[in-house]
Amino acid sequence: MNAYELNSVEALRAHLAADRRLYEPRPDGQGGLHWQTVAADDAQAFEPGLEPPPFSAKAFFFPEREAMFRFERGRFVAVEPEPEAFTLFGLRACDLTAIAYQDRFFARDGHYQARREAALLVGMDCAASCTGGFCAALGSGPAVGDGLADLVLIPGASWRLLVNTAAGRAAVSGLDLKPAPRDWTRAREQTRQQAAAEQGDAAPLLAGIAALNAGRVPPQTWEALGPRCLGCSGCTSVCPTCSCFAPLDLPTDGGLRRERVWDSCLYEGFQKEASGHNGSPSPGDRVRRYWFHKFGDGFKREFGRYGCVGCGRCDRVCPGGIGARVVLKRLGGA
Amino acid sequence: MNALALSVLPRPMRLLQRYDDGEDARHFTFQLEDIRAEDAGMMPGQFFMLVLPGCGEAPFTYVSRPDDQGRFSALIRRMGKLTEALFELQPGEVLGYRGPFGQGWPRFYGKQRILAVAGGCGLAPLAGFIEDVARTRSGTHLQVIYGARHVGARVLSRERARWSGALPLIETLDQAGPGHRQGTPLAHFDTVFGQAPPDAVLCCGPEVLMEAAARECLGRGLRADQIWLSVERRMHCGVGLCGHCYVGDSYACRDGPTYRYDRYRELLRRSGCARELDRGELRHC
Ligand SMILES: Cc1cc2nc3c(=O)[nH]c(=O)nc-3n(C[C@H](O)[C@H](O)[C@H](O)COP(=O)(O)OP(=O)(O)OC[C@H]3O[C@@H](n4cnc5c(N)ncnc54)[C@H](O)[C@@H]3O)c2cc1C
Ligand code: SF4
Ligand code: FES
């Protein structure tokens, strides 16, 4: 890991965009914030703002719908993605942690891995906390964790750049970068502590996780939360680690195409079997499962961390007001 | 592509033959076009995904292991869209196959006493196991109790006829006429536990039957780690990715569908179903 002074983030961005397609979260002028392509000659200033984009980077690697194979004249033909190299610029710590989580979950999924290998990840420490995020409580921010990105932007009086990987080093070759002063880590740590402190006390959230895993959550709690879930799939769509999917067969000229499309475990029919039996028949069962999947110790054992990265998106989007922060506090009895 | 890549591309197989075998159920013989070592290495209790182009795919257990020509059989009940369409297919037509998936029944060696309890179509996942014991004369003492709703609902008629000559097979019906045993499989536990209790129990059928049978075994002094179940869940990918088949923090397609009963209970307990379990009102998670 090497740290450099970065006189102009825009110059770095232009340099990277000259090589491969580059995306950055940008306001759409109508109140939205989306991942948008930035050309090498784009003069717009890099202004990341406080809030993360409503959609994480998940769809770059695990698209909302994706062809898996075709069936033609009695043969099954694989549809392999052929992604062009691209750069994601300005990824926050939470979303980078989510990418690392999905890297593990999809370790043996050829489609995911092909897209993932095509990506250069440029992370960014958060200079201040977003509203509603609780990444500090879950160890996924506000500073970008080691090894999660090829390059990391560090905000401060002036920008600094960390070069973490060989791919990152190759991507910045040709740029005239001066080493950062030796005490760069101190300033970074100060920013991290400040941003983390803005997120408030982690204890009530951790108490919720502990209660869930100790079996101390009474069934009535889930039954009370259940009716507040409208089964809209908002949380599962915006969650950077949700990855359930369903198969879809689409007719084509002389055959068909099998796609996989995002699904949601909060839909009533998610576990319904042909026999009519449903493994999770009530909304309370499904809500319980959703949070158990994010905060269950069994999943943590398998994937090295909890499935939730504390990005706060589900709290922002849930029409019933039962996002992660609200639910954890409730489970913990706060 | 990554050598570890999961099998998402179906392999072609042909429908060879089919015959009616129980109420709304048919015995199908398929033939794989290219046979792999893993097909022949299939363990009874594992399953495959049957791909019917245009109708999606669904999990079924093998009734027999793919032979050196790639031929194997399955017992399939008409339930919904995919099975309806499957029942309309003519021999010779091409379908897709992925598998084998999941964990099969445990292996037993030597002179153990095994009890297999099957209900309805739940006899299918046990068929390969029963066949192996009936054929190899390994010294394993296997008793089978098979329950169905009525005479016509029984499946695997040819297999049952073969097994009844080779091992003790108790057939029982919810609605029995003259000459048939009456009651659920549980009604006959006295008979099989009478001589000596089994060393292990394998159970497959409706979840209520499996739960009732497991509790009955515990009540008769067996330990939970002597009992195995094969559970049914909705499955799409078969490889632990799509999320549909979860049982607590386990994926039935990968870690099941056979679970040892103590581990199954622990999964449910961990995922917050403990109270339902203790009250005996099992809701699935
Ligand atoms: C791992 C696995 C693989 C499967 N593979 C296949 C497959 O390859 N093909 C296929 O078509 N299906 C398959 N199934 C489906 C499954 O076997 C059937 O859905 C299930 O057995 C219900 O069958 P049924 O409707 O005939 O049972 P039912 O007719 O409802 O009942 C069958 C028996 O269970 C007993 N029973 C029912 N309720 C109770 C109760 N409350 N207490 C005690 N006993 C009770 C009855 O007395 C009767 O003896 C599989 C299931 C599993 C778990
Ligand atoms: S569960 Fe909510 S807060 Fe946690 S990672 Fe998913 S969307 Fe973000
Ligand atoms: S069937 Fe997809 S995860 Fe089990």
CB B30 within 8 A of CB B63: no
Q: Which pLDDT value is given to residue B3?
A: 46
Amino acid identity, position B15: L
For residues B220-229, average pLDDT: 96
Name the helix (H) or strand (E) containing B84.
helix B81-88
pLDDT digits 0-9 by tens, A110-160: 999 999 999 999 999 999 999 999 999 999 999 999 999 999 999 998 999
Q: Which pLDDT value is given to residue B274?
A: 55
Q: Alpha-carbon distance B111 to B113, whole Å?
A: 7
Q: Alpha-carbon distance A174 to B243, whole Å?
A: 45
Distance linking the first and last C-alpha atoms of chain A:
41
Ligand 3 nearest-atom number relative to CA B234:
1
Burial of A23 (0-12, 13-18, 19+ CB in 10 A): buried
In Å, what is the CA distance from B101 to each residue of B228, B251, B256, B258?
18, 12, 9, 11
- Search chain A and give the residue with CA nearest B267: A298
> Predicted ipTM?
0.92
pLDDT greater than 60 at residue A327: yes
The verdict on B117 and B211 lying in the same domain is yes
Please calculate the CA angle B158-B162-B165 and round it to the nearest 5 degrees: 145
Which of B101, B126, B159 terminates a domain? The answer is B101
In Å, what is the CA distance from A41 to each residue of A10, A14, A261, B31?
10, 7, 35, 59
**Inter-chain CB proximity A302 and B11 less than 8 Å:** no
Q: Which pLDDT value is given to residue A33?
A: 93
The verdict on B92 and B117 lying in the same domain is no
Q: Which pLDDT value is given to residue B276?
A: 53
| CATH number for position B162 | 3.40.50.80
Q: Which of A8, A323, A325, A332 is nearest to A159 (CA)?
A: A8
If one compares B8 and A6, the residue with the highest pLDDT of the two is A6
The verdict on B95 and B118 lying in the same domain is no
Radius of gyration for chain A, computed over Cα atoms and rounded to the nearest angstrom: 21
Q: Alpha-carbon distance A220 to B4, whole Å?
A: 44
The verdict on B88 and B174 lying in the same domain is no
Domain total in chain B: 2
For residues B203-231, average pLDDT: 94
pLDDT greater than 80 at residue A292: yes
Average pLDDT of chain B is 90
User: How does strand A75-78 pair with strand A86-92?
Assistant: unpaired
For residues A214-240, average pLDDT: 94
Contact pairs from chain A to chain B, CB under 8 Å: 141
- Provide, rounded to the nearest whole percent, the portion of chain B with pLDDT above 70: 94
Q: Which pLDDT value is given to residue A280?
A: 87
In Å, what is the CA distance from B203 to each residue of A130, B105, B121, B198?
52, 10, 12, 13
User: How does strand B56-61 pair with strand B113-119?
Assistant: unpaired
* Residue B284 pLDDT class (50, 70, 90 cuts): very low
Q: Which two structure tokens, joined as six digits, stand for A16?
A: 């990277």
pLDDT greater than 60 at residue B2: no
CB-based contact, B284 to chain A, within 8 Å: yes
CB B39 within 8 A of CB B49: no
CB-based contact, A184 to chain B, within 8 Å: no
Answer yes or no: is the C-beta of A308 below 6 A from any ligand 2 atom: yes
Q: Alpha-carbon distance B49 to B258, whole Å?
A: 16
* Residue A334 pLDDT class (50, 70, 90 cuts): low
Answer yes or no: is the C-beta of B76 below 6 A from any ligand 1 atom: yes
Q: Which pLDDT value is given to residue B285?
A: 42
Q: Which one-letter DSSP state was computed for residue A53? A: P
Residue A145's Cα: distance from chain center in Å? 14
Amino acid identity, position A116: R
For residues A80-94, average pLDDT: 96
Residue B49's Cα: distance from chain center in Å? 14
Q: Alpha-carbon distance B210 to B228, whole Å?
A: 9
Distance from CA of B170 to the nearest CA of A (A): 26
Name the helix (H) or strand (E) containing A123.
strand A119-124
| CATH number for position B15 | 2.40.30.10
The verdict on B188 and B128 lying in the same domain is yes
pLDDT digits 0-9 by tens, A96-113: 999 999 999 999 999 999
pLDDT greater than 90 at residue B140: no
Q: Which two structure tokens, joined as six digits, stand for A59?
A: 């769809």
- Provide, rounded to the nearest whole percent, the portion of chain A with pLDDT above 90: 90
The verdict on B209 and B132 lying in the same domain is yes
Average pLDDT of chain A is 94
The verdict on B124 and B160 lying in the same domain is yes
User: How does strand B47-52 pair with strand B94-101?
Assistant: antiparallel
Q: Which pLDDT value is given to residue B269?
A: 85
CB-based contact, B1 to chain A, within 8 Å: yes
Answer yes or no: is the C-beta of A314 below 6 A from any ligand 2 atom: yes
Residues in chain A: 334
**Inter-chain CB proximity B54 and A249 less than 8 Å:** yes
Q: Alpha-carbon distance B72 to B14, whole Å?
A: 11
Name the helix (H) or strand (E) containing B33.
none
The verdict on B81 and B167 lying in the same domain is no
The verdict on B120 and B97 lying in the same domain is no
Q: Which two structure tokens, joined as six digits, stand for A210?
A: 């502990």
Amino acid identity, position B21: D
Q: Which pLDDT value is given to residue B278?
A: 52
| Residue B71 three-state SS | strand
Answer yes or no: is the C-beta of A141 below 6 A from any ligand 2 atom: no
pLDDT digits 0-9 by tens, A239-258: 999 999 999 999 998 899 99
The position carrying tokens 């809209």 is A232
The verdict on B83 and B125 lying in the same domain is no
pLDDT greater than 50 at residue B283: no
- Search chain B and give the residue with CA nearest A81: B1
Q: Alpha-carbon distance A157 to A160, whole Å?
A: 9
Residues in chain B: 285
Q: Which of B110, B154, B108 is nearest to B129 (CA)?
A: B108
pLDDT digits 0-9 by tens, B75-108: 999 998 999 999 999 999 999 999 999 999 998 7
B84, part of any domain:
yes
The position carrying tokens 């009890």 is B115
User: What residues of B are in contact with residue A78 (Cβ under 8 Å)?
Assistant: 9
pLDDT digits 0-9 by tens, A43-53: 999 999 899 99
A107-111, A282-286, B243-247, B274-278: which has the minimum mean pLDDT?
B274-278
Q: Alpha-carbon distance B262 to A279, whole Å?
A: 19
Ligand 2 pocket check: which of A238, A313, A316 to mutate, most ligand atoms within 8 Å of Cβ? A313
**Inter-chain CB proximity A76 and B5 less than 8 Å:** no
User: What residues of B are in contact with residue A243 (Cβ under 8 Å)?
Assistant: 241, 243
User: What residues of B are in contact with residue A268 (Cβ under 8 Å)?
Assistant: none
**Inter-chain CB proximity B56 and A247 less than 8 Å:** yes
B264, part of any domain:
no
Name the helix (H) or strand (E) containing B96.
strand B94-101
Answer yes or no: is the C-beta of A313 below 6 A from any ligand 2 atom: yes
Which of B101, B128, B144 terminates a domain? The answer is B101
Domain encompassing residue B96: 3-101
B106, part of any domain:
no
The verdict on B60 and B31 lying in the same domain is yes
